[in-house]
Structure 1
């Protein structure tokens, strides 16, 4: 080597290093192997002749991980939130650090040619850490330089050499923060839930059940759409299809009914008869307007990924790989950008001129250059990179055909379209009236195709309406009433998922493809290629998300990750301290983790119902109020209902449950059950039992219930109660609890009775009673209690004159009191629960009735 000062250039990939060396040396470099390939040449730098060495890393030089003592899965994952982290060589076999140290030794300058995004800035400092200690810069010189470029072309590379700057420490720290947060949060949750569920259920086929702060909200979008689909209930509708004949056009026109559809067949038939009665449709109005289909703005990464998925059959992850290869080969500009507006000074004309000789669109480019080229429309300049554009003209064979050509073709056409005139067309719309109903017909005539010339798949269809005039009468050709049914939305397309992630701040333009690829590779979703790459969650994916929602919805919802991304943005812009953000965010997730561990049984019930064969075979029972499909009754203890459609598990109290004659809960629509506890029966809603709808409501621990499963405020209880319980009503009120109420047992005869909602007291009516009902309007004037209506058997009525109906207060009426027996119910569940005492109350200090007490009246209390 000569005695010239040495300038070391480091690129992110070997192929990029070769391109940079070729441009900077005018192709006169020599190459050698030295760990990674090194390209050497001489050129001027900072006013002096220097010896250049251009080499590359292979992505990140270092990766973040826990020290060895924290690698064991046997450790409590909770300690990981406070564990130290360290950076290790990312690819130790490649010996990248050793290679950089060797090539940097004695060098006076370091030029960093890493990708121009946050990850690239982070890699810059990894390279600096390896190179700076062995370099020999001139005293007082700035020896580390950052090259910023957005295209791999000679012009862009030379411009970067003339405008060298400094690497951005704040952006690098933002990446460090994200790496530490994702590592600690992801590993802690993943280790815990994997250890908890691994081997627990025979039908669960997953070696690792992972959690990711970005991955899981991504999965959540797909699962929520899945739940919308499975819970959809088709609803029949009817629509009128009317066709009219136009003599001036010599064709039949298909109209669109202004009402669109109705949901009553008889009403639809009425409208059909009214329209069919008119043999002609009167043209009420005609409107004609000139309209424009605006040219697209500049192309950013998200729009490129959407187009690749929706129109090219390419997954987002694969599309990003192909785009990066096209960029390194110098066919397109840097493909990771959030901007859709070209920055001031961007050479639009020069970029367009490069396409003038292309066999597919060169003729249109010549027309634009001749004078029809337009200024690009708005868009957003995010200050990162210009929109994605072609760098040089290329044919299908030049880029290698296949996916690479489809992507390059789209990028080139999109750029040309963005500087083309708008598409202009004339729209004609006519309103017709027949049988009092309005119908519309429309058509359009293209005036100038504009930018759709180069993007014909987005062209406006030329379909003229013709010279229909106001007041004209058009013969009706057909009138038809068609029946259809509402349909659920389709599964999310990958393009829609990308859009949702962008709008909700999940990931970045560079990481979005990775997160989608992760949920697919981990078998949480499958990608159905038919119909535009639809994202369909698997049973495991649905169960995981539903489990997070049962414990802590924020673990799956996008809001938390979006907030974290905003915090990282503040670090990147120097507005927040790296250490403070990391410490605060980890504290929040540590609290969430502790809560998750404490309540893992809520997720476990879902896994059991989905992946335990003994549970999945439960018999169909009652209907779910959310999807209107049958839930399964799992009779193994603890007994529960499982809705496979909604992935919902509803615990049931200890005792016997039966159906309640297809009745539905007024609050949630779930099918009601009858809950039998010993010889007492209560109405119960399974959803309200698990999700109490009243302020301060809580579900009894492990389903142990001593009285009614619901409080007095619930409509199904309120409809049957008559008066406070003489044993526990007042006693519980004095102790700050809801007092017990006597309610009519919903099963009815042959032996009618009232049961307490709080304790085990039972009020039995004798066999002279035929039927009992409760009306809210019948109220006792003395005590304010409701008065049930008691219907006696004709041959056993105690009423004078042979009357059978008696409206009376259970507490105050002597005649009714003579027909009752008070007793302690059998089989009361012990333990906590609604009713509080589990049958151990004393009620005003008096001895409670036993199973053998006979004919005690309310006055005895």
Structure 2
């Protein structure tokens, strides 16, 4: 029996071939310098038994969408005909050598074994590979490996327990590809042609439209507008201060602040008339700082920029490199709960030799282990991101690789630890009718914080002793004045949070959409100015063109503006329904195109709104 195995990347093909071949395989070159064929023998057990195996790979998608040549002219073909034009799905020029290799290797194979990533996109790439293989051997039978990391026993289990490709998941991707291709072409053409004609500065620019990129741009512009519109507003607060046991305690006013100076004076007068403050409540209670949930892709891409100062896209790329080298599990996952049967302690034991966290890992195995928290998400395909093997810093190609690996490992160990524990004292006082409070925290057990260095929880200055019904004359009671501060521009973690909450893109594509709006020069990333903890953080500001596009589409008066998340969020919901078998590809495509026909015709009718806004922001008129 001869088996052709195809992975999504050459690095995964090589790793799997090494595991199944027991470290022995014969390497053959292909027409692509990046893709190799690996030949070895393997006993799959069951009906397959001992087989001659060739393991090879693709480089992501094999195919691309295109319109027939008669639709290629932007100026002579009306954009609206593209709603109904035939779409061709064919092997891309760059992938032609890979497709030829698969056809040739499939021609004398009995089975095709798909080893693409086990997500929605991987299922679609699996169907692309299957179609190409069948063009070289119509009788070849198709199997699919179900795996999520490159640990040896896991790969062997996947090799011996194949499943079928998930056609529903592949259909969801096919629907998304068709819709993004059609809508991108239609709105990119109308925007580009009209704006190039009207503005010299845009003569050589392609004004691209993307169904995910435009809502992403919309979030950036919305925050920018809040910053632009901000006017500081004065406020007043009451400061109550006590001196006791050689300690100064400043109590916080329950009203926090008021925006009427006269009202603040009235409240202050009532306090002064009372002359003394009275302790109305003293509460001493345990305080818990909860350990983090298991790590998902969205969390990784949010926390990479925040904690590691690495962009979301680069953080995910590094995590994928760590995965393909067998150091961490599959980094594209929505799951934030570990399966109850997963052997976490064996994974912990692999970290006991590390000089930084080895002692902590050993302590977990010696009685400090606690079951991880369970979040509310489970994609039923992949576990949370976690380390598979220990690796030293010197064995990784860069400092950034080490930062990402260290973060994933420390997060995992923190998940398997206990919450941090403390004790809190809260003192509430009343002066006149006004209420004030202050609290003091004592951290008793750091627990997970000892390994998870990205969070801090410190004891505050200890409060002096207060007893119920104590009365005291405050050292100071007066009004303090302040002003509201401007909101800040969006940071990458904030932008990803907005995209996640509004269903813009998937956990694996959000970072790519953020990169796209920068590549298209709709958005700029810059370092935040000023002093304090926020200084130096990367933030996003829209370009003049980015602002003009958002303002123009908003002014057109669409029920669902292209720069708002509503249309895309509904599409993502329907894509998930297709993946679950609850809807069909054709229904979604038809319904979505009907919605966008109305959007297109209104855009075409009122395009002067876009022209007017571009004139305002690009030419200052």
* Category of TM-score, reference length = shorter chain: over 0.9
Preserved CA contact (<8 Å) 2:247 2:464: no
Normalised TM-score (structure 2): 0.93
How far apart, CA to CA, are the structure 1 residues paired with 2:486 and 2:117?
43
1:526 is paired with a residue of what secondary structure?
A: strand
Preserved CA contact (<8 Å) 1:373 1:420: yes
Normalised TM-score (structure 1): 0.67
Corresponding residue for residue 215 of structure 2: 217
Shift of 1:545: 1.0
Corresponding residue for residue 125 of structure 2: 123
Q: How does 1:291-370 map to 2 (within 5 A)?
A: 291-370=287-366
- Among 380, 393, 397, the alignment partner of 1:396 is 393
- What are the ranges of 5 or more consecutive residues in structure 2 without an aligned counterpart? 529-533
For residues 524 and 413 of structure 1, do their structure 2 counterparts lie closer, same or farther at Cα, with a shift above 3 Å needed? same
Moved more, 460-469 or 295-304: 460-469
For residues 455 and 480 of structure 1, do their structure 2 counterparts lie closer, same or farther at Cα, with a shift above 3 Å needed? farther
Corresponding residue for residue 48 of structure 1: 49
Q: Tell whether 2:478 aligns with 1:444.
A: no
Preserved CA contact (<8 Å) 2:63 2:95: no
For residues 432 and 604 of structure 1, do their structure 2 counterparts lie closer, same or farther at Cα, with a shift above 3 Å needed? same
How far apart, CA to CA, are the structure 2 residues paired with 1:186 and 1:553?
19
For residues 493 and 92 of structure 1, do their structure 2 counterparts lie closer, same or farther at Cα, with a shift above 3 Å needed? closer
Corresponding residue for residue 521 of structure 1: 519
Shift of 1:573: 1.9
Shift of 1:60: 0.5
Shift of 1:305: 0.7
Kindly provide the CA deviation profile for residues 629-659 of structure 1, in whole angstroms up to 9, marking residues without a partner as x.
xxxxxxxxxxxxxxxxxxxxxxxxxxxxxxx
Corresponding residue for residue 531 of structure 2: none
Q: Tell whether 2:458 aligns with 1:461.
A: yes
Relative to its length, the structure with more helix (as a share) is: 2
Shift of 1:229: 2.1
Shift of 1:429: 0.5
For residues 277 and 576 of structure 1, do their structure 2 counterparts lie closer, same or farther at Cα, with a shift above 3 Å needed? closer
Corresponding residue for residue 548 of structure 2: 543
Larger RCO, structure (CA 8 Å, separation 6 or more):
2
Greater Rg, structure 1 or structure 2? 1
Corresponding residue for residue 693 of structure 1: none
Shift of 1:561: 0.9
How far apart, CA to CA, are the structure 2 residues paired with 1:167 and 1:305?
28
How far apart, CA to CA, are the structure 1 residues paired with 2:8 and 2:93?
14
For residues 529 and 148 of structure 1, do their structure 2 counterparts lie closer, same or farther at Cα, with a shift above 3 Å needed? farther
2:342 is paired with a residue of what secondary structure?
A: coil
Shift of 1:418: 1.2
How far apart, CA to CA, are the structure 2 residues paired with 1:202 and 1:517?
26
1:456 is paired with a residue of what secondary structure?
A: coil
Shift of 1:398: 2.5
Shift of 1:206: 6.7
Kindly provide the CA deviation profile for residues 761-801 of structure 1, in whole angstroms up to 9, marking residues without a partner as x.
xxxxxxxxxxxxxxxxxxxxxxxxxxxxxxxxxxxxxxxxx
Kindly provide the CA deviation profile for residues 654-680 of structure 1, in whole angstroms up to 9, marking residues without a partner as x.
xxxxxxxxxxxxxxxxxxxxxxxxxxx
Q: How does 1:720-735 map to 2 (within 5 A)?
A: none
For residues 206 and 511 of structure 1, do their structure 2 counterparts lie closer, same or farther at Cα, with a shift above 3 Å needed? farther
For residues 268 and 576 of structure 1, do their structure 2 counterparts lie closer, same or farther at Cα, with a shift above 3 Å needed? closer
1:458 is paired with a residue of what secondary structure?
A: coil
Shift of 1:437: 3.3
How far apart, CA to CA, are the structure 2 residues paired with 1:308 and 1:52?
39
Shift of 1:288: 0.8
Preserved CA contact (<8 Å) 2:10 2:58: yes
For residues 407 and 91 of structure 1, do their structure 2 counterparts lie closer, same or farther at Cα, with a shift above 3 Å needed? farther
1:40 is paired with a residue of what secondary structure?
A: strand
For residues 94 and 279 of structure 1, do their structure 2 counterparts lie closer, same or farther at Cα, with a shift above 3 Å needed? farther
Corresponding residue for residue 428 of structure 1: 425
Moved more, 303-312 or 399-408: 399-408
Preserved CA contact (<8 Å) 1:246 1:475: no
How far apart, CA to CA, are the structure 2 residues paired with 1:538 and 1:62?
34
Corresponding residue for residue 86 of structure 1: 88
Corresponding residue for residue 132 of structure 1: 134
Corresponding residue for residue 583 of structure 1: 590
How far apart, CA to CA, are the structure 2 residues paired with 1:50 and 1:433?
82
2:282 is paired with a residue of what secondary structure?
A: strand
How far apart, CA to CA, are the structure 2 residues paired with 1:32 and 1:558?
48
Q: Tell whether 2:193 aligns with 1:186.
A: no
Preserved CA contact (<8 Å) 1:275 1:434: yes
Preserved CA contact (<8 Å) 2:302 2:312: yes
Shift of 1:349: 1.7
Corresponding residue for residue 741 of structure 1: none
Q: How does 1:55-70 map to 2 (within 5 A)?
A: 55-70=56-71
Q: Tell whether 2:159 aligns with 1:158.
A: no
Preserved CA contact (<8 Å) 1:203 1:612: no
How far apart, CA to CA, are the structure 2 residues paired with 1:390 and 1:529?
32
Shift of 1:553: 4.7
Moved more, 251-260 or 433-442: 433-442
How far apart, CA to CA, are the structure 2 residues paired with 1:529 and 1:403?
19
For residues 265 and 9 of structure 1, do their structure 2 counterparts lie closer, same or farther at Cα, with a shift above 3 Å needed? same
Q: Tell whether 2:168 aligns with 1:170.
A: yes
How far apart, CA to CA, are the structure 1 residues paired with 2:179 and 2:73?
19
Corresponding residue for residue 603 of structure 2: 596
Corresponding residue for residue 415 of structure 1: 412
How far apart, CA to CA, are the structure 1 residues paired with 2:161 and 2:500?
32
Preserved CA contact (<8 Å) 1:431 1:441: yes
Shift of 1:512: 0.9
How far apart, CA to CA, are the structure 1 residues paired with 2:204 and 2:525?
18
Q: How does 1:479-628 map to 2 (within 5 A)?
A: 479-530=477-528, 531=534, 532-551=537-556, 552-554=558-560, 555-612=562-619, 616=621
Count of matched residue positions in the alignment of Structure 1 and Structure 2: 604
1:457 is paired with a residue of what secondary structure?
A: coil
How far apart, CA to CA, are the structure 2 residues paired with 1:258 and 1:579?
57
Shift of 1:504: 1.3
Kindly provide the CA deviation profile for residues 296-332 of structure 1, in whole angstroms up to 9, marking residues without a partner as x.
2211110111111222222221111111111111111
How far apart, CA to CA, are the structure 2 residues paired with 1:47 and 1:494?
49
Preserved CA contact (<8 Å) 2:420 2:449: yes
How far apart, CA to CA, are the structure 1 residues paired with 2:95 and 2:232?
59
Preserved CA contact (<8 Å) 1:301 1:388: yes
Preserved CA contact (<8 Å) 1:177 1:582: yes
Corresponding residue for residue 6 of structure 1: 2
How far apart, CA to CA, are the structure 1 residues paired with 2:604 and 2:48?
64
2:594 is paired with a residue of what secondary structure?
A: helix
Shift of 1:267: 3.8
2:454 is paired with a residue of what secondary structure?
A: helix
Preserved CA contact (<8 Å) 2:387 2:408: yes
How far apart, CA to CA, are the structure 1 residues paired with 2:43 and 2:400?
40
- Among 77, 94, 97, the alignment partner of 1:95 is 97
Q: How does 1:247-326 map to 2 (within 5 A)?
A: 247=245, 250-272=246-268, 281-326=277-322
Shift of 1:381: 1.7
Shift of 1:563: 1.2
Shift of 1:436: 5.0
Shift of 1:31: 1.1
Preserved CA contact (<8 Å) 1:446 1:462: yes
Preserved CA contact (<8 Å) 1:353 1:365: yes
Preserved CA contact (<8 Å) 1:449 1:459: no
How far apart, CA to CA, are the structure 1 residues paired with 2:452 and 2:123?
36
Corresponding residue for residue 114 of structure 1: 116
1:255 is paired with a residue of what secondary structure?
A: strand
How far apart, CA to CA, are the structure 2 residues paired with 1:208 and 1:47?
53
Preserved CA contact (<8 Å) 2:62 2:95: no
How far apart, CA to CA, are the structure 2 residues paired with 1:93 and 1:130?
11
Kindly provide the CA deviation profile for residues 543-579 of structure 1, in whole angstroms up to 9, marking residues without a partner as x.
1111111221512221111111122222222222222
Preserved CA contact (<8 Å) 2:492 2:539: yes
Kindly provide the CA deviation profile for residues 828-851 of structure 1, in whole angstroms up to 9, marking residues without a partner as x.
xxxxxxxxxxxxxxxxxxxxxxxx
Shift of 1:612: 3.3
Aligned CA RMSD, in angstroms, stands at: 2.1
Corresponding residue for residue 235 of structure 2: 237
Shift of 1:165: 0.7
- What are the ranges of 5 or more consecutive residues in structure 1 without an aligned counterpart? 617-861
